[in-house]
Amino acid sequence: MISRAAGAVYYPLRRTLAWTADRLTHWCDQQVRSTYRLKPAFLQEGVRRALLTIGSAARIVTLFPRVAYMGDAILFDLLVGTLFPHGATIERLPRVPAWRVPQQAQQLLNQADLLVCGLPRRWPGHWRPSARWSVRSPVFAQMVAELTDGTFDQWTRGRAHKRLRRDVLVAARVPFSSRTTRSYDELVRFHEQLYLPHVHHRHGDQALTSTARLHWQDWMSRGGQLLLLELDGEPVAGVIFGDVGDVRFLGEEGVSPRIRGTDAGASAQVALKAHAISGAFARGLRKIDLGRSLARKSDRGFVHKERWRAQPAPPQRSYYPLWTFLAETVPPALADHLDALQLLDDADLTTSISPPRNICSSTPPRRLTNVAATDE
């Protein structure tokens, strides 16, 4: 119990500490992209690792005074939607300190078939819970493609890329005109008229959006540009991008709802990537970072970016938690659901997690329709 006088000091101090650590995490995550400028190249990986470690440590600081048994509440709604597509009953439980996460997890494993802990990647090992089956999966993956074969036209050829080639040729029939800009006013219009409608249409209640000011701060103020596609002189699609070192990073995309359901709407995202990647080839860049996707092979965005020859890489953001799945036994229905999701295994992003059948129980599931949260 905290006295009123002590609370008058403690709670403002906690808010200040959390805000400061949150800003540090954000700064570290944004600086990761800048490391691609470093020479010699061997410095890049070491500096990136250091930045992500500092950012993750700062993230732990934001959770430390108010951590819940299941960890970071960020992206909790996404977790619920992933495991319970038809809805779930949310049960609120008391909070516990960070150092008691393993003990609380063990208690909950006696009550539920599956426990998911959303913890920072650098969470201390002796505070990390364990179980008979334990596997970690990132929430997001970075999708990165090597720009080989000389030209964009050559890069899209070949039997293995037949569908990509077809999509590019179909998109080329739409009379898009393209241009780039660094205008703040045009960025705001892109944000309001293209980006927000597009993201909310695709993701609904689970949409995660940023503000126009953050787009400017994280991209344009660092030398990024906005690529716009126009029809009849009006912007109908756009993507933010930035070149760092020999890598082109693609950021937020947007497509106008006015062209939804038309040939232009069906080809807009393909045309955006084709223009951006063609420009990267023209500049002699070596890689294209297509941005983040949900780290699951069943995700449409993941499949779309795979078609662009991209492979998953660890997400270069310490802000997002790593999901740890824990179970002693797994009912077959739950095992089948996890198999269908095809969540990427953090230990090997080329594979997806799957409960081993030797821990699958034949007993009916106990709590497949409940998720425990702790945000009292």
Do residues 242 and 270 share a domain? yes
Banded model confidence at residue 202, pLDDT cuts 50, 70, 90: confident
pLDDT of residue 259 exceeding 90: yes
- Three-point CA angle 313, 319, 325, nearest 5°: 70
Domain CATH number, residue 294 = 3.40.630.30
Q: Does 194 lie in the same domain as 81?
A: no
For residues 283 and 348, what is the distance between their CA atoms, to the nearest angstrom? 32
More confident residue, 74 or 197: 197
Of 83-92, 262-271, 365-374, where does the model show the most confidence?
A: 262-271
Dihedral, 225, 230, 236, 237 alpha carbons, nearest 10: -40
Is 246 contained in some domain? yes
Cβ–Cβ under 8 Å, residues 288 and 149: no
Segment 151-167 mean pLDDT: 90
The verdict on 151 and 231 lying in the same domain is yes
pLDDT tens track for 111-156:
888 888 888 888 888 888 999 999 999 999 999 999 988 899 999 9
Has residue 121 been placed in a domain?
yes
- Residue finishing a domain among 22, 43, 66: 66
Residues 6 or more apart in contact with residue 70 via CB below 8 angstroms: 115, 116, 117, 118, 372, 373, 374
Q: Which spans in 283-316 are helix H?
A: 300-307
Instruction: Mark 308-321 as b/e (b = at least 16 C-beta within 10 Å).
Output: bbbebebbbbbbbb
Check whether residue 38 and residue 103 sit in a common domain: no
Same domain, 286 and 167: yes
Q: What is the pLDDT of residues 72-86, one digit of tens each?
A: 566 777 888 888 777
Tell me the DSSP string of 20-47. Answer: HHHHHHHHHHHHHHHGGG-SSTHHHHHH
Domain span holding position 46: 4-66
Q: Are residues 12 and 100 in the same domain?
A: no
Q: Looking at the structure, tell me whether residues 241 and 322 fall in a common domain.
A: no
Same domain? 135 vs 163: no
Most confident of 161-170, 320-329, 364-373: 161-170
Report the SS3 class of residue 82.
helix
Report the number of distinct structural domains present in the chain: 3
Q: With a cut of 70, say whether residue 69 has pLDDT above it.
A: no
- Position 8 scores a pLDDT of 57
Residues 270 and 164 in one domain: yes
In a domain, 234, yes or no: yes
CB-CB contact of 25 with 318 (8 Å): yes
Instruction: Look at residue 152 and tell me if it is in a domain.
Output: yes
- 174 vs 14, more confident: 174
pTM assigned to the model? 0.77
Return the bridge partners of 115, or none: 326
SS3 309: coil
Confidence of residue 361 (pLDDT cuts 50, 70, 90): low
Instruction: State the Cα–Cα distance between residues 28 and 25, nearest whole angstrom.
Output: 5
pLDDT category of residue 359 using cuts at 50, 70 and 90: confident
Question: Is the residue at 367 inside a domain?
Answer: yes
CB-based burial label for 194 (10 Å; 0-12, 13-18, 19+):
buried
Could you read off the pLDDT of 20-57 as tens digits, one per residue? 888 898 898 888 888 998 888 888 889 988 998 898 88
Whether residue 187 is found in the same domain as residue 252:
yes
> Considering 295, 313, 331, which residue would you say is the last residue of a domain?
313
| Contacting residues for 228 by C-beta, under 8 A, at least 6 apart | 178, 179, 180, 181, 186, 190, 235, 237, 238
Rounded to the nearest 10 degrees, the angle between the axes of helix 42-63 and helix 4-34 is: 160
Q: Are residues 119 and 231 in the same domain?
A: no
Judge contact between 22 and 65, C-beta under 8 A: no
- Tell me, yes or no, whether 46 and 114 share the same domain: no
Report if residue 71 sits inside a domain: no
